Amino acid sequence: MKNDTLLSVKNLKTHFSVGNSVVKAVDGISFDLEPGKTFAIVGESGSGKSITALSIMGLLPNNLESVDRGKILFNNQDLLTLDEKEMRKIRGNSVSMIFQEPMTSLNPVYDLSFQISEAIMLHQNKNKQEARKIAIDMLDLVGIPEPQKRIDAFPHELSGGMRQRAMIAMALSCNPKILIADEPTTALDVTIQAQIIELMRDLQKKLGMAIIFITHDLGVVAEISDTVMVMYLGNTMEIANTNKIFSNPKHPYTKSLIEIAPQISEHKREIKVLKGEIPSPMNPPSGCVFRTRCPHASPDGKEAKIEMGLIEVEPGHWVDRCGVGCGN
Amino acid sequence: MGLVVATKMIEIRNLKKYFPLKGGFFNSKQADVKAVEKVNFDIPEGEILGLVGESGSGKTTLGRSIIRLIEPSEGEILYNNENILNFKEKDMRSLRKDFQIIFQDPYASLDPRKKIFDIIAQGLKIHTGLNKQEISNKVKSIIKEVGLQEEHLNRYPHEFSGGQRQRIGIARALVLEPKFIIADEPVSALDVTIQAQILKLILDLKEKYSLTILFISHDLSVINQIADRVMVMYLGHIVEVASTKQLFSNPKHPYTKSLIATAPQIFRKNENKIVLKGDIPSPINPPSGCVFRTRCPHASPDGKEAKIEMGLIEVEPGHWVDRCGANCS
């Protein structure tokens, strides 16, 4: 852990018991988040990226398997050891989160004033009037026109883009050090997505928070992040600086993702594909979890015996052991 | 084929769809949702025509109107030189065999209580006089075409992943050997790696069965991969039509330009991109004149765009742009 690390995730495991089996949703991932930077987590559905976020927030369901869960270090404490009362002081205060679907994550029966003020009154020791004033300032900050009027609006009176702005206002109202954004632009139209990405960048410049940005869209990753972690089936395949990962990807999964991402700049009609589907996390492949879809998997199946684990191939660029040399 | 002029699969003339908004006293009509406004276009045989736009642009309504899943308010849809809007229900039924649709959400578009075999066979039972054995043979052959196996036919939809369900949806559409397919956001609900698989499948099957496809999507990168020609829709109007190459290399309308410039790309740093302000206006009360003027970066302060009527003009062969957008930048 470097000195300027804000949050350090060490060998995080989040396993659930479902019936008689165990779902290894997150199976031993590690990364460091630096202050004021954007860390992107990219992967397909089922890769464990959202569960990683919810593990940090302490918002997991209670069917957790008791395994050694690793550590999530923030402010010299391990978030995994905190009880609910202590966690509540952090959640929504120094670490907050926004979600994909702003319609389902805002409460439809309360107006914005109530929902945004709630967090401010809880964490900042302000009375109702003061909190409302801060809430109005927050709406103004996130670019909602006529904030004095809109503060009394209910979620259904806002468009999708405005709702996401309101969510961001709520998440930032206590001036968090870390904002976790779980696919915040996926449900939005392209022009609105561009507005929200621009807004998040501006706010980061102004307020200086670090962002963990979860997405499946590599184009968005290229626009917003400083560092990228590629996840597959609960494991990390590759971590690198954003420019590095696109100019010099090492893992065959990362390479495939980049190759198949539809691009505007080229007019190729040939569509590249990665075969198969992500296996069930209840029964992941042994050894290298990517081997069942890997274009370089060997016929003798030796990848089944290679344990998962990151290797540093150049400073700051980490690749899973099996994926390091296999395509060359 | 050389210079043979492609025959037209479908011609759309002045197609309009308004949905009445009812309410108040005696449930009277309060207003209209102007979903599609007098659009004109042709789809040549064998073409994949991309239709792109944001939510509320009217692209789904337009797609469904063409096969009369939604009854258009006005206009003509010419198929084999006949206006299918004049067809009675019985004539339409035989036509439905030629026109099929693939939906966005593979979870919602397959009946959860039916086995895959019955889902795919249903159209054959209704539209063809085939006997049981012939139907069974056709279903078994199409399921392999879409990359699944015969044993999958005895299962229920919930046993499949999103990508597999979309393959089943494609099998259901293709088993009738249609001529024209509307693909309404067929890959939007899928993961990137599955999205690529389904796009490739659609392209392969298009060649094999010589299909004509109207491919609806909000995603310009996907449209760029699959379409021969692209139509851009905004608030019920077509604002630009061109070959895929023309549209992406030389976009003319400020809306198209902004869509292309703001689409997140891996290998392009968008430093000076034009981010459109505001939301798409309500189709109940669209702006007068040029419908894009409320978000247009080139709108003039005197508001003269409010008086420019919508209408496409040809700026280069095969490249049509809305009048206001053709001149404004």
Q: How far apart (Å, rounded) are the C-alpha atoms in residues A313 and A307? A: 17
The SS3 assignment for B64 reads helix
Share of chain A above pLDDT 70, in %: 97
Please tell me the pTM assigned to this model.
Answer: 0.91
Q: How far apart (Å, rounded) are the C-alpha atoms in residues B63 and B183? A: 9
Least confident of A268-272, B89-93, B232-236, B303-307: A268-272
Question: A262 is written with which tokens?
Answer: 């539809």
Q: How far apart (Å, rounded) are the C-alpha atoms in residues B318 and A118? A: 57
Confidence of residue A3 (pLDDT cuts 50, 70, 90): low
pLDDT at residue B177 tops 80: yes
**In this complex, how many residue pairs, one in chain A and one in chain B, have their CB atoms less than 8 Å apart?**
127
Least confident of A14-23, A177-186, A262-271, A292-301: A262-271
For B68-116, the pLDDT digits (tens) are 999 999 999 999 999 999 999 888 888 889 999 999 887 889 999 999 9
Nearest-CA distance A237 → chain B (Å): 16
Instruction: State the average pLDDT over residues B282-305.
Output: 92
Cβ of A194 and B262 within 8 Å? yes
The SS3 assignment for A103 reads helix
Q: Hey, which residues 300-319 in chain A have their CB within 8 Å of chain B? A: none
Nearest-CA distance B196 → chain A (Å): 6
Would an 8 Å CB–CB cutoff place B191 in contact with chain A?
yes
* Rg, chain A, Cα only: 21
Nearest-CA distance B188 → chain A (Å): 10
Question: A153 is written with which tokens?
Answer: 């609006």
Would an 8 Å CB–CB cutoff place B273 in contact with chain A?
yes
For A99-114, the pLDDT digits (tens) are 988 778 899 999 999 9
Alpha helices in chain A (DSSP H): 49-57, 84-90, 102-105, 112-124, 128-141, 147-150, 160-172, 190-207, 218-224, 242-247, 252-260, 321-325
Instruction: State the average pLDDT over residues B290-319.
Output: 93
pLDDT at residue B270 tops 70: no
- For residue B97, report the phi and psi dihedrals to the nearest 5 degrees: -65, -35
Cβ of B267 and A222 within 8 Å? yes
Q: Looking at residue B217, what is its pLDDT?
A: 95
Q: Looking at residue A264, what is its pLDDT?
A: 84
pLDDT at residue B157 tops 50: yes
Asked if the ipTM is above 0.85, the reply is yes
Q: Looking at residue A268, what is its pLDDT?
A: 62
The SS3 assignment for A108 reads coil
Shortest CB distance from A260 goes to which of B55, B196, B263? B196
Say how many C-beta atoms besides its own lie within 10 A of residue A309's C-beta: 12
Q: In chain A, which residues have their Cβ closer than 8 Å to the Cβ of B203?
A: 269, 271
For A210-219, the pLDDT digits (tens) are 999 999 999 9
Find the helix or strand (DSSP H, E) in which B247 lies.
helix B244-249
Question: B321 is written with which tokens?
Answer: 């742009």
Contact status, residue A313 vs residue A250, Cβ threshold 8 Å:
yes
Length reported for chain A: 328
Q: How far apart (Å, rounded) are the C-alpha atoms in residues B160 and B110? A: 11
For A233-287, the pLDDT digits (tens) are 999 999 999 999 999 999 999 999 999 988 887 666 678 899 999 998 888 999 9
Q: Looking at residue B1, what is its pLDDT?
A: 38
